[in-house]
């Protein structure tokens, strides 16, 4: 923990669960205090996910739950060396070594948190799925009863139906990948998928494919998250040394102020439609790489930027660089930068963001790749 930046990390995680709440729910005033347990030397994050993602997002407006049992010591996580094996972008469950099977207590905890997050999911998706929006109350309640959903009387039928689908698929995933189970924030990633896919079995396998890239975001050791934050930091350092020196002065060069953006892939900073746009561009890059379209082929078809597995990270760095003047001139602490990043919700132009991200890929991709491989 020896560095003040460890407190910044905790602050970054706290911010993920201390923002806007759904008007449909009442919350206690004890929210932020439940995130930390212990003294200054051994802070423990109380959550079944790898951080404090208590979905305050456009997809899940949740508050903290004080009973969540899975914990880890932030000091231990921050000081561990980054595992080089995690630099692999595809982090699917291992078929060689069997993961530890979850206990009934684990699964009960996952079930409880899944239901809380599902009921708190908001209605932003409704205009994009008219069929599901028109579901009857009787059908919605049958779906809710089938998965044991409770405390949903305040919701409209379409939101009950959406919540029941979230529960069914997230519980299935927790059994499919018991090493990860369920972590808060995963509902943010699933909600857009079930909005555009009406069959649960298809949505489940789509989510499984998505999580092959995203599951390292929810590992308790946070190795995958730290690798990505390190990449964002290197992009900013390479592009804007003045901004990077200012972040160093504030002991924020580890970029934990963009923690939320990394974990839920910009879902909370962008509208529903913008999220789908960004994700599909990311997936297109990944598909191009799988198809063997490398830099040489890309240059022959005269595109500006080669495909990259890390387009999300270049986009996150671009969002910070767009605020460089404000950060340098106005902000004197990591918490202030964190608040600025969280206030980006609904304020970003996704196409400008992608243009800036592609510019960074063109100029820095090779340099960043080389630095990370050292």
**Predicted confidence band at 186 (pLDDT cuts at 50, 70, 90)?**
very high
In whole angstroms, give the CA distance from residue 228 to residue 230.
Answer: 5
Task: Tell me what pLDDT residue 94 has.
Answer: 53
Cβ 207 vs Cβ 190: under 8 Å: yes
Average per-residue pLDDT for the chain: 77
**Predicted confidence band at 101 (pLDDT cuts at 50, 70, 90)?**
low
What average pLDDT does this structure show over 163-178?
Answer: 95
In whole angstroms, give the CA distance from residue 315 to residue 209.
Answer: 22
Domain 104-217 and domain 223-371, same fold? Reply is no
**Predicted confidence band at 62 (pLDDT cuts at 50, 70, 90)?**
very low
Q: Which residues contact 372 (CB under 8 A, 6 or more apart)?
A: 87, 230, 231, 234
Least confident of 39-43, 49-53, 152-156: 39-43
User: Does 258 or 61 have the greater pLDDT score?
Assistant: 258
322 pLDDT above the threshold of 70? yes
Least confident of 9-13, 50-54, 242-246: 50-54
pTM above 0.75, yes or no: no
Residue percentage of the chain with pLDDT more than 90? 52
44 pLDDT above the threshold of 60? no
Q: Which residues contact 136 (CB under 8 A, 6 or more apart)?
A: 157
- Proportion of the chain in helix, strand, coil states, percent, rounded to 5: 60, 5, 40
Task: Tell me what pLDDT residue 358 has.
Answer: 93
Tell me how long the chain is.
Answer: 374
- The enclosing H or E element of 116 equals helix 104-120
Cβ 205 vs Cβ 236: under 8 Å: no
63 pLDDT above the threshold of 60? no
Report which of 74, 17, 36, 66 is spatially closest to residue 260, judged by C-alpha positions.
17
Placement of tokens 């899940």 in the chain: 60
Task: Tell me what pLDDT residue 296 has.
Answer: 58
30 pLDDT above the threshold of 70? no
Least confident of 38-52, 140-154, 168-182, 303-317: 38-52
Cβ 364 vs Cβ 238: under 8 Å: yes
pLDDT in tens, 336-360: 999 999 888 888 999 999 999 999 9
- Fold of the 223-371 domain: Cyclin A; domain 1 (1.10.472)
Task: Tell me what pLDDT residue 118 has.
Answer: 94
What average pLDDT does this structure show over 15-41?
Answer: 36
- The enclosing H or E element of 45 equals strand 44-46
**What's the CATH number of domain 104-217, 1.10.8, 3.30.70, 1.10.10, 1.10.3470?**
1.10.8
Structural domain boundaries in the chain:
104-217, 223-371
């Amino acid at each position: 923990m020896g560095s003040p930046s460890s407190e910044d990390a905790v602050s970054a995680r706290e911010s993920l669960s201390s923002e806007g709440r759904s008007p449909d729910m009442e919350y206690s005033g004890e929210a932020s205090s439940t995130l930390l347990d212990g003294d200054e030397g051994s802070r423990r994050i109380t959550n079944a996910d790898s951080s404090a993602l208590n979905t305050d997002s456009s997809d899940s407006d949740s508050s903290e739950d004080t009973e969540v049992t899975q914990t880890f010591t932030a000091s231990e996580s921050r000081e561990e060396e980054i595992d080089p094996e995690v630099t692999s972008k595809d982090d699917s469950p291992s078929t060689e070594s069997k993961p530890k099977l979850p206990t009934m207590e684990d699964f009960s905890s996952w079930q409880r948190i899944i239901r809380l997050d599902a009921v708190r999911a908001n209605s932003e998706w409704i205009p994009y799925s008219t069929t599901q929006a028109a579901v009857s109350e009787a059908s919605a309640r049958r779906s809710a009863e089938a998965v044991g959903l409770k405390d949903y009387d305040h919701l409209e039928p379409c939101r009950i139906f959406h919540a029941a689908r979230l529960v069914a698929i997230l519980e299935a995933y927790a059994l499919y990948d018991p090493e990860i189970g369920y972590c808060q924030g995963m509902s943010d990633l699933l909600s857009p998928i079930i909005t555009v896919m009406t069959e649960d079995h298809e949505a489940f396998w789509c989510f499984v494919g998505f999580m092959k890239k995203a599951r390292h975001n929810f590992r308790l050791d946070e190795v995958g998250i730290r690798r990505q934050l390190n990449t964002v930091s290197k992009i900013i350092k390479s592009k804007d040394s003045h901004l990077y020196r200012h972040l160093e002065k504030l002991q924020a060069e580890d970029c934990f102020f963009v923690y939320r953006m990394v974990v839920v892939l910009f879902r909370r900073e962008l509208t529903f439609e913008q999220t789908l746009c960004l994700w599909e561009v990311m997936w297109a890059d990944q598909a191009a790489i799988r198809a063997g379209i490398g830099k040489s082929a890309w240059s022959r078809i005269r595109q500006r930027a080669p495909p990259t597995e890390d387009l999300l990270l270049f986009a996150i760095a671009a969002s910070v660089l767009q605020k460089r003047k404000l950060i340098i001139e106005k902000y004197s602490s990591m918490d202030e930068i964190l608040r600025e990043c969280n206030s980006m919700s609904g304020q970003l132009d996704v196409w400008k963001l992608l243009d800036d991200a592609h510019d960074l890929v063109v100029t820095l991709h090779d340099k960043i790749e080389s630095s990370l491989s050292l």
